[in-house]
Structure 1
Amino acid sequence: MPLDPGPRAGACDLPAAAPAGGSALPADRIATARAAAVARAAALEVQVAALAEQQALTTHDDEHDPEGVTIGFERAQLLGLLAGARDEIAALDRAADRLRDGTYGRCSRCGVVIPEVRLEALPAAETCVTCADLRRRRR
Structure 2
Amino acid sequence: MPDFERFRLLLEEERARRVALLPVLRADIAAANSARQDSNVDDEHDPEGATIAFELSQASALLKQSSAGLDQIEAALARLAGGSYGTCAVCGEPIAEGRLEARPWTPFCILHASSGRGR
Structure 1 range deviating more: 60-69 or 105-114: 60-69
Match of 1:133 in 2: 114
- Runs (5+) with no aligned partner, structure 2: none
Identical counterparts, % of pairs: 36
Q: Contact 2:40–2:46 at 8 Å: present in 1 too?
A: no
Match of 2:27 in 1: 46
User: 2:50 aligns to what SS in structure 1?
Assistant: coil
- Runs (5+) with no aligned partner, structure 1: 1-16
Q: Which amino acid aligns with 1:52?
A: N
Match of 1:97 in 2: 78
**What is the TM-score of this pair, normalised by structure 2?**
0.84
Q: Pick from 64, 88, 92 the counterpart of residue 69 of structure 2.
A: 88
Match of 1:63 in 2: 44
User: 1:51 aligns to what SS in structure 2?
Assistant: helix
Q: Which amino acid aligns with 1:46?
A: A
Match of 1:19 in 2: 3
Question: What is the Cα deviation at residue 60 of structure 1?
Answer: 6.5
Match of 2:10 in 1: 29
Question: What is the Cα deviation at residue 119 of structure 1?
Answer: 1.1
Query: RMSD of aligned C-alpha atoms?
Result: 2.5
**What is the TM-score of this pair, normalised by structure 1?**
0.73
Listed one character per residue, the Cα deviations across residues 109-129 of structure 1 (whole Å, up to 9, x for unaligned) are 111111111111111111011
Residues in 2 aligned to 1:34 and 1:110: alpha-carbon distance in whole angstroms: 27
Q: Which amino acid aligns with 2:3?
A: P
Query: Closer, same or farther in 2 for the Cα pair 1:33/1:75, shift >3 Å?
Result: same
Q: Which amino acid aligns with 1:97?
A: A
